[in-house]
């Protein structure tokens, strides 16, 4: 075989990359320009009977995909909770593909293992977690929740003499899971994967902001329902609320339970000296989930799990097999011992590069500025006639409701959201908050600045006025 022409294929990719990135600030921020059928037609058809030149494949892929690319990395995309990619993180992610290391085993990629070990220890430091915690770099908060809850399942059942990894769950003591009603759905899905089942959940009442009520939790804990996991949240997907973590951890530990904190984006408050008190007590928990692909602005997919009980973490994940070459005790860190994946992308390179480029103060600034921009949204929208900012903005999330002269605020709010989505200036999604329709604005992109917020507010007000007249 001829030496492949890397130059040709990679330079086509490079050119399209720069075109996309340079065009982002002016790219309409909409769901997509093309309808799905047209995309299928442009990309589809039967499998080619024979080979096609790599650079030609990349050229035609880039052209066919272009109308179906959403400007989610834009500074004016405020839907869901979506970050972009900082230049250092993106460039490291390119190299990750180029190097193509299998980051499951240190022997197949010692640099990947070392970088993960360094990045993990930096994260533990800036997030203010206890220095002995173990960690795993997983695909996202979904798998971080899964991994953490697998460690919890191990520990709680091991304490009762039940070796769950060998014996499975048939006949095992039942684990109950206490969680607030505004928890993320990935918690329930992790419980499905783990065989604990969604019926294991006992919902704890929440206050007006969506925070778990400690008195309700205390009542439920004192019922003595057996081994217990409490799933707390730092950063609810609607308003960004944080459960009362100190009280939750103290009460749960008194009853021998395990506290898991889903802080997919909210845990990053801990990286800022000014915001850290919002997650006070978070370091008392037993396990934590967060994402690097949201607040830290690392490319997908990049989630993080931390566990205060490294033995339980390893017991739940570890694999040993004769054909693998695994490090001895005290040798390089084996990602396989902390992750649910076997072969895996070396996603530590991008996390490392993001942290190294920002430094401790840069991460704090990144988080604080996203929160300041969210507050700017609220302060510009709140005085507008007919606009209701549903709760004080405490983090990066804003919830807004639009009042209509005809009194049907739900319908009007949905119309405004639709109009904003069609307008193309910015994109936000809707939600239902305490039975009322609301627009949710999530500021997570590193490149968002005040002018992005001001342009977006102008578009929102325009759509609100137009929808009121319609
Ligand atoms: C985004 C999010 C998740 C799911 O995270 P993925 O990275 O998409 O798997 C879980 N919990 C919370 C609170 C989130 O915001």
User: Which residue has the least CA distance to atom 1 on ligand 1?
Assistant: 264
Q: In what order do the strands lie in the sheet with 397-402?
A: 387-389, 397-402, 436-442, 429-433
∠ CA 44-343-190, nearest 5°, is: 85
Say yes or no to pLDDT of 33 above 70. Answer: no
Q: Work out the average pLDDT over 421-431.
A: 96
Counting ligand 1 atoms within 8 A of each CB, the residue from 72, 138, 140 with the most, and so the one to mutate, is 140
Atom of ligand 1 nearest to the CA of 183: 13
Q: Work out the average pLDDT over 405-425.
A: 96
DSSP state, 239?
T
Residue with tokens 């928890």: 183
The H-or-E segment that residue 356 falls in is helix 348-381
Say yes or no to pLDDT of 2 above 60. Answer: no
Q: Work out the average pLDDT over 214-238.
A: 95
Least confident of 104-108, 214-218, 238-242, 414-418: 104-108
Per-residue confidence at 328, pLDDT binned at 50, 70, 90?
confident
Q: Work out the average pLDDT over 402-426.
A: 96
Give, in order, the Cα–Cα distances in Å from 257 to each of 165, 169, 293: 19, 19, 30
CB 179 within 8 A of CB 294: no
Atom of ligand 1 nearest to the CA of 140: 7
Give, in order, the Cα–Cα distances in Å from 452 to each of 31, 127, 138, 187, 382: 18, 28, 32, 33, 18
Say yes or no to pLDDT of 34 above 80. Answer: no
Ligand 1 environment, Cβ below 6 A: 81, 140-142, 184, 186, 235, 237, 262, 264-265, 291, 303
User: Which residue has the least CA distance to atom 10 on ligand 1?
Assistant: 141
Residue length, the chain?
470
Pairing of strands 258-262, 228-233: parallel
Counting ligand 1 atoms within 8 A of each CB, the residue from 146, 279, 291 with the most, and so the one to mutate, is 291
Pairing of strands 387-389, 201-204: unpaired
Atom of ligand 1 nearest to the CA of 184: 11
Atom of ligand 1 nearest to the CA of 236: 13
Counting ligand 1 atoms within 8 A of each CB, the residue from 237, 241, 242, 288 with the most, and so the one to mutate, is 237
Whole-number Å distance, alpha carbon 185 to ligand 1 midpoint, is 8
Averaged confidence pLDDT in the chain? 95
Whole-number Å distance, alpha carbon 215 to ligand 1 midpoint, is 27
The H-or-E segment that residue 146 falls in is helix 141-159
Q: Work out the average pLDDT over 100-124.
A: 96
Q: pLDDT tens, 38-51?
A: 999 999 999 999 99
Q: What is the spatial distance between Cα 50 and Cα 41, in angstroms, rounded to a whole number?
A: 20
Whole-number Å distance, alpha carbon 442 to ligand 1 midpoint, is 13
Q: pLDDT tens, 454-468?
A: 999 999 999 999 988
Q: Three-state DSSP class for 399?
A: strand
Q: Which two tokens stand for residue 150?
A: 């697998």
Per-residue confidence at 35, pLDDT binned at 50, 70, 90?
confident
Task: Find residue 135's DSSP bridge partners.
Answer: 306
Whole-number Å distance, alpha carbon 186 to ligand 1 midpoint, is 7
Whole-number Å distance, alpha carbon 251 to ligand 1 midpoint, is 26
Q: What is the spatial distance between Cα 87 and Cα 107, in angstroms, rounded to a whole number?
A: 29
Say yes or no to pLDDT of 16 above 90. Answer: yes
Whole-number Å distance, alpha carbon 236 to ligand 1 midpoint, is 10
Q: Work out the average pLDDT over 194-223.
A: 96
Counting ligand 1 atoms within 8 A of each CB, the residue from 136, 144, 184, 302 with the most, and so the one to mutate, is 184
- pTM assigned to the model: 0.97
Say yes or no to pLDDT of 8 above 80. Answer: yes
Whole-number Å distance, alpha carbon 43 to ligand 1 midpoint, is 30
Say yes or no to pLDDT of 1 above 60. Answer: no
Q: Work out the average pLDDT over 179-190.
A: 96
Residue with tokens 């799933």: 231
> For position 27, what pLDDT does the model report?
94
Counting ligand 1 atoms within 8 A of each CB, the residue from 138, 260, 264, 295 with the most, and so the one to mutate, is 264
CB 154 within 8 A of CB 315: yes
> For position 400, what pLDDT does the model report?
98
Task: Find residue 177's DSSP bridge partners.
Answer: 201, 229
Q: What is the spatial distance between Cα 443 and Cα 416, in angstroms, rounded to a whole number?
A: 19
Q: pLDDT tens, 262-309?
A: 999 999 999 999 999 999 999 999 999 999 999 999 999 999 999 999
The H-or-E segment that residue 422 falls in is helix 409-423
């Amino acid at each position: 075989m001829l030496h492949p022409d890397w130059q040709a294929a990679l330079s086509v990719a490079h050119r399209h990359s720069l075109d996309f990135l340079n065009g982002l600030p002016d790219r309409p921020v909409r769901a997509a320009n093309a309808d799905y059928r047209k995309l299928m037609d442009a990309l589809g058809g039967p499998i080619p009977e024979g080979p096609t030149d790599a650079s030609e494949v990349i050229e035609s892929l880039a052209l066919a995909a272009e109308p179906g690319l959403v400007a989610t990395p834009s500074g004016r995309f405020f839907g869901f909770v979506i970050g972009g990619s900082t230049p250092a993180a993106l460039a490291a992610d390119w190299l990750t593909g180029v190097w193509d290391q299998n980051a499951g085993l240190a022997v197949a990629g010692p640099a990947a293992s070392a970088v993960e070990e360094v990045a993990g220890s930096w994260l533990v430091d800036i997030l203010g977690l206890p220095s002995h915690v173990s960690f795993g770099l997983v695909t996202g908060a979904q798998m971080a929740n899964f991994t953490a809850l697998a460690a919890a399942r191990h520990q709680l059942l091991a304490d009762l003499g039940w070796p769950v990894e060998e014996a499975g769950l048939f006949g095992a003591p039942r684990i109950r899971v206490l969680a607030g009603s505004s928890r993320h759905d990935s918690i329930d899905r992790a419980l499905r994967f783990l065989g604990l089942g969604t019926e294991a959940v006992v919902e704890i009442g929440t206050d007006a902001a969506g925070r778990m009520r400690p008195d309700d939790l205390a009542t439920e804990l004192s019922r003595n329902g057996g081994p217990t996991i409490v799933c707390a949240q730092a950063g609810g997907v609607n308003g960004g609320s944080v459960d009362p973590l100190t009280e939750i951890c103290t009460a749960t530990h008194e009853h021998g339970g395990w506290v898991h904190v889903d802080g997919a984006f909210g845990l990053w408050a801990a990286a800022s000296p000014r915001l850290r008190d919002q997650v006070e007590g978070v370091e008392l928990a037993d396990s934590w989930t967060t994402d690097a692909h949201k607040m830290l602005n690392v490319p997908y997919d990049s989630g993080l799990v931390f566990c205060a009980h490294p033995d339980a973490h390893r017991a739940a994940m570890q694999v040993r097999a004769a054909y693998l070459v695994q490090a001895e005790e005290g040798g390089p860190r084996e990602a396989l011992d902390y992750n649910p994946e076997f072969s895996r992308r070396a996603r530590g390179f991008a996390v490392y590069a993001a942290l190294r480029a920002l430094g401790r103060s840069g991460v704090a600034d990144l988080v604080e500025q996203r929160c300041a921009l969210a507050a700017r949204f609220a302060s510009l929208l709140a005085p507008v006639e007919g606009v209701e900012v549903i709760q004080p903005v405490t983090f990066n999330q804003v919830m807004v409701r639009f009042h209509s002269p005809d009194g049907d605020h739900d319908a009007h709010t949905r119309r405004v959201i639709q109009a904003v989505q069609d307008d193309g200036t910015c994109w936000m999604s809707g939600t239902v908050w305490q039975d009322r329709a609301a627009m949710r604005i999530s500021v997570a992109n590193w490149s968002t600045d005040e002018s992005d917020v001001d342009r977006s507010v102008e578009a929102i007000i325009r759509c609100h006025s137009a929808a009121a007249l319609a």
